[in-house]
């Protein structure tokens, strides 16, 4: 009388009298289905086809097994009334109520005529050290000689000529009258705006202005000069960098209200968005001044300045 073997992966009929230790080839593990792959936990072979999975040869030899495995226990189905009773027995303190955050309300743009407030100044240690060195060097520096040394480079931006003698002064100087601007990977001069992403190409750009060479820079005292500046933003802040080297904290200030900003080089800016003046501040370093303005609402600014509106009432004319 032949019996059916219930070992996984075998399924053959066998004679109990001829059942030896190596008669059955089976899988002692369990089926594993994961990420469309099918296999057995006892061996490493995997396949995506179910027919191939069924034909995987067992990895273990042993006796045939005629005992039918027990059926899996089915979960007990609760009636509606029983489920309601169980729900009432659950402790109430395990319930967690999560309140969704309120949607952001649109902030009404304040008037640009509101009073200005001085922003907090934060002076870095590097700026203090640089100012101390400048103070010592100015005290030890004697009178400067008006004599121009051979090999002195022209001080005009973009000019690479050097002083070779009195005839060099008679040459025409070709230079850039503006300031360099670096923004979003592009480099150009404010006077001609020929943009490039390569720094060497930017340095090799020929000047757009003709004039006389400047071999010495005379100190004319305190004056207003154009400073290169840039800006960037995060979700909650807008930072304006003014590249003013060795700025003097005692003579520097930044005034702002919710929509207006003013920098040391006397440029007024009507800001694109609204800022929180009380949470804004100015960080002064040896190489630049960073104006960090806290956004009143976490919105992305399209630009630093609010564009000037050119809308004018149109005059309608009719032909009769």
pLDDT value of position 315? 44
Q: Give me the CATH topology for the region 3-62.
A: 4.10.1130
Q: Is the pTM of this model over 0.75?
A: no
Residue 237 has pLDDT above 50, yes or no: yes
Q: Give me the CATH topology for the region 153-212.
A: 4.10.1130
The domains of the chain are located at 3-62, 117-129+226-295, 153-212
pLDDT value of position 137? 66
Cβ atoms within 10 Å of 156's Cβ, excluding its own: 20
Question: How far is residue 168's CA from residue 121's CA, in Å, rounded to a whole number?
Answer: 46
Token readout for 230 is 């840039």
pLDDT value of position 319? 43
- pLDDT tens sequence across 123-162: 888 888 888 887 766 655 554 556 788 888 898 888 888 8
Token readout for 166 is 């009195």
- pLDDT tens sequence across 64-85: 988 887 776 666 655 667 666 7
Task: Domain 117-129+226-295: give its CATH code.
Answer: 2.60.40.790
Answer yes or no: same fold for 3-62 and 153-212. yes
Q: What band does 173 get if pLDDT is binned at 50, 70 and 90? A: very high
Find how far residue 288's CA is from the centre of its chain.
21
Question: How far is residue 24's CA from residue 76's CA, in Å, rounded to a whole number?
Answer: 37
- Residues 154, 214 contacting (CB under 8 angstroms): yes
- pLDDT tens sequence across 218-231: 655 555 667 787 88
Residue 61 has pLDDT above 60, yes or no: yes
pLDDT value of position 313? 45
Among 67-71, 217-221, 263-267, 300-304, which stretch is predicted with the lowest mean pLDDT?
263-267
DSSP3 helix / strand / coil % (the chain, rounded to 5) = 15, 25, 60
Residue 317 has pLDDT above 70, yes or no: no
Give φ, ψ of 280 to 5 degrees.
-100, 155
Residue 188 has pLDDT above 50, yes or no: yes
The mean of the pLDDT values for the chain is 78
3-class state of residue 312 by DSSP: coil
């Amino acid at each position: 009388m032949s019996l059916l073997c219930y070992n996984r992966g075998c399924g053959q009929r066998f004679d109990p009298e001829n059942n030896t230790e190596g008669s059955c080839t089976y899988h002692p593990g369990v089926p594993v289905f994961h990420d469309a792959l099918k296999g057995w936990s006892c061996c490493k072979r995997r396949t995506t086809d179910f027919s191939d999975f069924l034909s995987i040869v067992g990895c273990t030899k042993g006796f045939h097994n005629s005992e039918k495995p027990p059926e899996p226990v089915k979960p007990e189905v609760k009636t509606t009334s029983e489920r309601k009773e169980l729900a009432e027995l659950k402790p109430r303190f395990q319930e967690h109520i999560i309140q969704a955050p309120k949607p952001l309300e649109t902030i009404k743009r304040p008037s640009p005529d509101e009073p200005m407030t001085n922003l907090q100044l934060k002076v870095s240690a590097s700026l203090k050290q640089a100012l101390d060195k400048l103070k010592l060097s100015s005290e030890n520096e004697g009178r400067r000689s008006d004599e121009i040394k051979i090999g002195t480079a022209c001080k005009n931006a973009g000019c690479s000529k050097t002083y070779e003698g009195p005839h060099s002064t008679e040459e025409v100087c070709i230079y850039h009258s503006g300031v360099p601007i670096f923004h979003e990977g592009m480099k150009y001069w404010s006077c001609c705006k020929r943009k490039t992403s390569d720094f060497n190409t930017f340095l090799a750009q020929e000047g757009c202005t003709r004039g006389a060479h400047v071999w010495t820079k005379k100190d004319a005292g305190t004056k207003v000069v154009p400073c290169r500046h840039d800006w960037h933003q995060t979700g909650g802040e807008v930072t304006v960098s003014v590249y003013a080297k060795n700025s003097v904290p005692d003579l520097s200030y930044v005034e702002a209200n919710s929509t207006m900003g003013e920098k040391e080089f006397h440029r007024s800016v009507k800001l694109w968005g609204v800022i929180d003046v009380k949470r804004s501040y100015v960080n002064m370093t040896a190489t630049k001044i960073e104006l960090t303005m806290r956004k009143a609402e976490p919105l992305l600014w399209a630009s630093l300045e609010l564009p000037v509106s050119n809308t004018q009432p149109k005059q309608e004319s009719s032909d009769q």
